[in-house]
Chain A
Amino acid sequence: MSVDFEKLAEQEYKYGFITNVEQEIAPKGLNEDTIRLISAKKNEPEWLLEWRLGAYRNWLTMKEPRWPHLTYPKIDYQNISYYAAPKKKDSPKSLDEIDPEIKETYDKLGIPLDEQKMLAGVAVDAVFDSVSVITTFKEKLAEAGVIFCSISEAVQDHPELVKKYLGYVVPHNDNFFAALNSAVFTDGSFVYVPKGVRCPMELSTYFRINAESTGQFERTLIIAEEGSYVSYLEGCTAPKRDENQLHAAVVELIAHKDATIKYSTIQNWYPGNAEGEGGIYNFVTKRGRCVGRNSHISWTQVETGSAITWKYPSCILEGDNSVGEFYSVALTNRRQQADTGTKMIHIGKNTKSTIVSKGISAGHGQNTYRGLVQIGKNATGSRNYTQCDSMLIGDKCGAHTFPYIEVKNSTAQMEHEASTSKIGEDQIFYCQQRGLSAEDAVSLIVNGFCKEVFRELPFEFAVEAEKLLSVSLEGSVG
């Protein structure tokens, strides 16, 4: 059963749809009709609609988890709009028209003017000769045989790949938010790197034109065939606002034999006001499967935004000798909360995992690291190294750690180091006496603290990350 738009349009406001089809916004609430609407708008094949409905029916039987170290008001799932067509009409004509506070932040982050225009949604032809930049990019990828497009496009152009791998790492009954995402996802990236190909450049969402919605329920799927390599960058340092408060994305990575996937994230979603109101809830399921021998998946994240961050980018190390890595900097300032970490599941032999987590708490921020290292009974010769460091700025914030270690094979080697430090007034004064402002001092010290993680980021991202941290810590001193 699919929705007959002609009929609906004639009935005008009976179902709450706006008759102007170009600016279609679904009524709030979630039921099977909403899902059918989304699927129909995207012209999806029957199997995908069924998959979505299966996920939705599952979701109805699940209960929202309440075990994290987070406090937030109950989410009314019926009070969310699950589909909105892109708003093309009200894009600003130049940077002078955007919110001056946002412009100020862009400047502080050192974002080049052209990029600022793109971020602000200024019409593309007024930006720069974007056509040539993106065309060159697409040409290079096409030469290499790399597929990089939106997931919606992939469903149309490469359905067999999507069908094979969607849900391969995160099945739709995996958890409450994954089930929700599976039912209503509308956008995201699809990457496929063929056998033996080293993707010629870093892929970032910046170059994925046809970006539709703001990523409320994003679904990303990255497949690296045997012997291939790809580095993917998600997000950017510029703060993003969204009327949709709940962001429940799912990212699935599949690495075959001898393949490597490097996934880097900088997240700076709107964190809410000083009282903690109105910020984004970032509830994400990210998981990678090292399917083949010698495969390698590496997650690097810098989380400075959102009112609440709840995510555990994880690796399932199935192939023998496979490697999983997790490098994270999570900052909570003002009233932000984070419960983040990783799960490293060792199944194959001689598998190796590395976890470096840096939590920074300032203001009234609450920062929690939650990590699981699980060594299966056949995971002979496996090794894990975990380093979990917390830094507290001021005396009203909190840092918490919940490490879980489950070992079922006696040949496993586990190392766990943890530290908690405070930026003392002494250290700040020392830097001030040398000529640095208190804020610069905090920046210096925090960046030193995060060095090991920033080192894992692609160069331009690393530079942006340092600036982002400084901007995010403004007002945390004095």
Chain B
Amino acid sequence: MLEIRNLHVSVADQEILKGLDLKVNAGEVHSIMGPNGSGKSTLAQVLAGRESFEVTEGEIIFEGKDLLELSPEDRAREGIFMAFQYPVEIPGVANTYLLREALNSIRKYRGEEPLKHVEFAKFAKEKMALMGMADTLLKRSVNEGFSGGEKKKNEIFQMQILEPRLAILDETDSGLDIDALKVVAEGVNSLRSPERAFVLITHYQRLLNYIVPDYVHVLVNGRIEKSGGKELALELEEKGYGWVEEEAKKAVND
């Protein structure tokens, strides 16, 4: 579904990703871990299409299409969703309004009929119940006055509504207490399917107790230096990232 080859990305003339490779197939859950500054969020933003990140080399193929050629909204319409690390507030714009417009925009792109107000409301209420969120949330402005945890839950709720092919969660677990974490995990797990793939970007292993990944990758110094199964996450938890960086250096020098 997603193939990233030799990706080099710079921000303000500083190279952050230095030849990253990654392959994700439908039905899989991948976790990307790494120390601060390794480029995890950069990867997420580049996949979403943020302009301030410059791709200097490499390619990203999504479902056979050159992703770098697509605008952020077209990437979303192709089925890519990113749960933001720091979701922004949009005063004056009700949650329901944004989501309905977004969903219908995606449906239009796919040649489907837009959902009418009533149909959408019904659909949204089902998903809210799943996430244990109050109905009143729909009428509130996007993220306005939401606590950190509520914002993260709102991201997952939006993912439930938009039903993407590829969901990228950018440090969704940061700042969440155990209960919120469980709700978020439940939201993600309920969407797992053979047609869908997830990329979880996370700093801590804790989330992976609740959302069990198929693959774990370690991103250090702008590259994925090590990949493995879910046990790798536990190893990192125990030993930290240092040993991975050491191994990588040695491989270069040999």
Q: Chain A: residues with CB nearer than 8 A to chain B? A: 421, 424, 426-427, 429-438, 440, 444-445, 448-449, 451
Is residue B194 within 8 Å, beta carbon to beta carbon, of the partner chain?
A: no
How far in angstroms is the closest Cβ of chain A from B12? 15
CB pair B76–A448 under 8 Å, yes or no, is no
Please indicate the chain B residues that have their CB under 8 angstroms from the CB of A430 in the complex.
Answer: 84, 87-88, 90, 142
Q: Is the CB of B90 within 8 A of A432?
A: no
Is the pair A451, B73 in contact by a Cβ cutoff of 8 Å? no
Report the Cα distance A296→B210, complex, angstroms: 61
Contacts of B102 in A (CB 8 A): 431, 434-436
Give the contacts of B62-96 with A (CB-CB under 8 A): 71-73, 75-77, 81-82, 84, 87-94
Looking at A432, A434, A436, which has the most chain B CB atoms within 10 Å of its CB?
A: A434
A437-B73, A438-B73, A448-B92 given; 6 more Cβ-contact pairs under 8 Å: A427-B88, A433-B72, A435-B102, A435-B103, A448-B90, A448-B94
Q: In the complex, what residues of B have CB within 8 A of residue A445's CB?
A: 90, 92-93
* A424 with B91: CB separation less than 8 A: no
The prevalent SS among residues of A at the interface is: helix
> Judging by beta carbons under 8 Å apart, are B97 and A435 in contact?
no
Please state if A435 and B73 are interface contacts (CB–CB under 8 Å).
Answer: yes
Q: How far is the CB of B209 from chain A (nearest CB, A)?
A: 28
In the complex with contacts A433-B76, A436-B73, A451-B92 CB distance below 8 A: yes
Instruction: Let me know if A433 and B101 touch, CB within 8 A.
Output: no
Report if B46 contacts A (CB, 8 A). Answer: no
The 8 A CB mask of B40-57 against A (1 = contact, 0 = none) is 000000001110000000
Task: State A437–B98 Cα separation when bound (angstroms).
Answer: 12
CB contact between B101 and one of A424, A440, A451 (< 8 Å): that residue: A440
Name the A residues within 8 Å of B97 (CB-CB).
444, 448
Interface assignment of B197: CB less than 8 Å from any CB of chain A: no
B84 adjacent to A444 (CB under 8 Å): no
Chain B residues whose CB sits within 8 angstroms of the CB of A437 once the complex forms: 71, 73, 105
Residues of A within 8 A of B158 (CB): 434
User: Is B199 part of the binding interface, using a Cβ–Cβ cutoff of 8 Å?
Assistant: no
16 A-B pairs in the complex with CB atoms less than 8 angstroms apart: A427-B90, A429-B48, A430-B84, A430-B88, A433-B49, A435-B103, A435-B105, A436-B73, A436-B101, A436-B105, A437-B71, A437-B105, A438-B73, A440-B105, A445-B92, A448-B94
Q: Is B106 an interface residue (CB 8 A)?
A: yes
B: number of interface residues (CB 8 Å): 33
Q: What is the CA–CA distance of A421 and B105 in the complex, to the nearest angstrom?
A: 27
Nearest CB on A from B98, distance (A): 7
**Option from A429, A433, A435, A448 in Cβ contact (under 8 Å) with B93:** A448
Q: Is the CB of A429 within 8 A of B50?
A: yes
B88 touches A424 (CB 8 A): yes
> In the complex, what's the smallest C-beta–C-beta distance from A390 to chain B, in angstroms?
13
Taking CB atoms, residues of chain A closer than 8 Å to B99 are 434
Contact status of A449 and B92, CB under 8 A, knowing A437-B73, A444-B97: yes
A435, B75: Cα distance in complex, Å:
8
Which chain B residues in 159-175 approach chain A with CB under 8 Å? 162
With CB as the reference atom, state the residue of chain A lying closest to B143: A430
**A432 neighbours in B (Cβ, 8 Å):** 49, 71-73, 76
C-alpha spacing A388/B134, complex, angstroms: 32
Complexed CA–CA distance, A448 and B99 (Å): 14
A100–B98 Cα gap in the complex (Å)? 33
Question: B205 contacts the other chain (Cβ, under 8 Å)?
Answer: no
Measured CA separation A208–B112 after assembly (Å): 43
Contact B90 A435 (CB under 8 A): no
Residues on A with C-beta less than 8 A from B10 are: none
A440 to B98, CA, bound (A): 10
Question: Which residue of chain B has its CB nearest to the CB of A430?
Answer: B88
Partner of A444 from the list B76, B77, B88, B93 (CB cut-off 8 Å) is: B93
B25 within 8 A of A: no
Residues of A within 8 A of B71 (CB): 432, 437
Q: Does B6 contact A (CB under 8 A)?
A: no
Q: Which residue of B lies closest to A452 (CB)?
A: B92
The 9 closest A-B pairs by CB, nearest first: A448-B92, A434-B102, A432-B72, A448-B93, A435-B76, A435-B105, A435-B102, A426-B88, A435-B106
